[in-house]
Amino acid sequence: MATRRADVASALRGASGRALSGEALARDLGISRTAVAKHVASLRSLGYAIEAAPGVGYWLVSAPDACIPEEVWPRLGDLLWVECTGGPQTRSTNDDAKRLAQAGAGEGTIVIAGRQSGGRGRFGRTWASPEGGVYASVVLRPPLAPSELAPVALVVAVGVARGLAGLGCEVGLKWPNDVLLGGRKLAGILVETAAEVDCVEWVVAGIGVNVAGAAYADGACVRDAVPEAAIADVAAAVLDAVAGAYRVFCSGGFAAVREEYLALGTLWGRQVLVHDSLGRRVADGVAQGVDDAGALLISGDSGTLAVMAGEVTLADTHEPLTER
Ligand code: BTN
């Protein structure tokens, strides 16, 4: 990530509370002292507590707990990630990432935000995105045919679950890609793509995670399980784990991720209904698992059906969705 503001934040963080003179900062970053002062003011507006004294310089007292590039980028470790842009607020990180992808942004470009004013969910729904969550969208350019894209959302869900488990938050998955804690929705994934007839141009995978509080009354948040979880730690853990799962998928296909997906699944053995995006019922029966293409396997009166897309509800909605 290459903004000068982020460089100033990084230099102050690296000084571990010691003062850095405006002159030294300006020299090291190749900018003017006026520019340093401007970036310090901008960082303060993001919630950084930065003290200053004449003849001494600037020192960092505390950084905000927020899903902003200045906090998330230094925590990321996976080499898939090449760029992290964004800020405290945007309309939708998926819209921003799609714009960047269309303009040629490379695989591994991340857009994040502290909140969204127009967050979007699956089936054209709204994704409530107040401060206190992780809102991230990543540009991927998988070497796949368009017909092989369906499992990408499941792979991202496995990554999100892995990243959260690494922080002590054990979640379950509801096919295709809802992330649940104690049967309540904790995170959602929205995958959007552009493809030609025989080749994928780009995939944007958007991830929303409730961290400090649930955006909906029936939702869950990471702090229900890990009260001290920091928002930027959640963002980085999830993004790095998504990169790991994606790499396995690119080299081995969904078959290489399937066992992990099955272990995280919460529907197996349950009586379910599946509806398509227009609300039409496409299947009902007992969910058995997923196949190597990521399709949901449902056994019913007429045998086993492989469903590629849709929305699942439990036939008995009074039962909890999962024991996790
Ligand atoms: C769903 O479960 O319906 C999917 C929700 C996806 C929400 C994320 S938040 C980051 C990215 N930007 C968006 O507008 N949506 C996705």
> Domain locations in the chain?
4-62, 69-264, 271-314
Q: Kindly give the distance from the C-alpha atom of residue 37 to the centroid of ligand 1, in angstroms, as a whole number.
A: 36
The DSSP letter of residue 20 is: B
User: Which residue type occupies 213?
Assistant: G
pLDDT in tens, 65-95: 999 999 999 999 999 999 999 999 999 999 9
Q: Are 212 and 231 in contact (CB under 8 A)?
A: yes
**For residues 159-168, b (16+ Cβ closer than 10 Å) or e, as one string?**
bbbbbbeebe
pLDDT in tens, 169-208: 999 999 999 999 999 999 999 999 999 888 899 999 999 9
Going by CATH, does the domain composed of 271-314 fall within 2.30.30? yes
- pLDDT score recorded for residue 301: 87
- pLDDT score recorded for residue 1: 52
Q: What order do you get walking across the sheet with 311-314 strand by strand?
A: 303-307, 296-300, 281-290, 271-275, 311-314
Say if ligand 1 is within 6 A of residue 92 CB: yes
Average pLDDT over residues 212-231: 92
**For residues 131-156, b (16+ Cβ closer than 10 Å) or e, as one string?**
bbbbbbbbbbbbebeeebbbbbbbbb
The number of angstroms, rounded, from the C-alpha of 182 to the middle of its chain's C-alpha atoms is 20
DSSP per-residue letters across 34-82: HHHHHHHHHHHHTT-EEEEETTTEEEEEE---S-SHHHHGGG---TT--
If one residue of 122, 135, 181, 186 were mutated to test the ligand 1 pocket, choosing by the most ligand atoms within 8 A of its CB, it would be 135
CA–CA gap between residue 50 and residue 44 (Å, rounded): 7
- pLDDT score recorded for residue 186: 97
**Mean pLDDT for the chain overall:** 94
Q: Kindly give the distance from the C-alpha atom of residue 127 to the centroid of ligand 1, in angstroms, as a whole number.
A: 6
- pLDDT score recorded for residue 321: 46
How many Cβ atoms sit within 10 Å of the Cβ of residue 190?
Answer: 23
**Percent of all residues in the chain with a pLDDT value above 70, rounded to a whole number:** 97
CA–CA gap between residue 72 and residue 277 (Å, rounded): 34
Per CATH, the number for 69-264 is 3.30.930.10
Say if ligand 1 is within 6 A of residue 322 CB: no
- Of the candidates 211, 203, 207, the one whose C-alpha atom is nearest the C-alpha of residue 241 is 207
Q: Which helix (H) or strand (E) holds 291?
A: none
Class of domain 4-62: mainly alpha
Q: Kindly give the distance from the C-alpha atom of residue 128 to the centroid of ligand 1, in angstroms, as a whole number.
A: 9
- pLDDT score recorded for residue 65: 95
User: Torsion angle, CA of 196/197/203/205, rounded to 10 degrees?
Assistant: 130
**CA distances in angstroms from 105 to 3, 140, 203, 239, 261, listed in the order given:** 16, 9, 11, 18, 30
Find the range with the poorest average confidence among 44-58, 182-196, 221-235, 305-319: 305-319
Q: Is the pTM of this model over 0.85?
A: yes
**Structure tokens that stand for 313 in this block:** 């509800």
Say if ligand 1 is within 6 A of residue 188 CB: yes
Average pLDDT over residues 18-29: 96
Say if ligand 1 is within 6 A of residue 157 CB: no
Q: Kindly give the distance from the C-alpha atom of residue 129 to the centroid of ligand 1, in angstroms, as a whole number.
A: 9
Q: Kindly give the distance from the C-alpha atom of residue 68 to the centroid of ligand 1, in angstroms, as a whole number.
A: 17
CA–CA gap between residue 55 and residue 33 (Å, rounded): 13
CA–CA gap between residue 307 and residue 277 (Å, rounded): 13
CA–CA gap between residue 186 and residue 10 (Å, rounded): 31
DSSP per-residue letters across 230-282: -HHHHHHHHHHHHHHHHHHHHHH-THHHHHHHHHHBS-TT-EEEEE-TTS-EE
* Ligand 1 atom with minimal separation from the 118 CA: 14
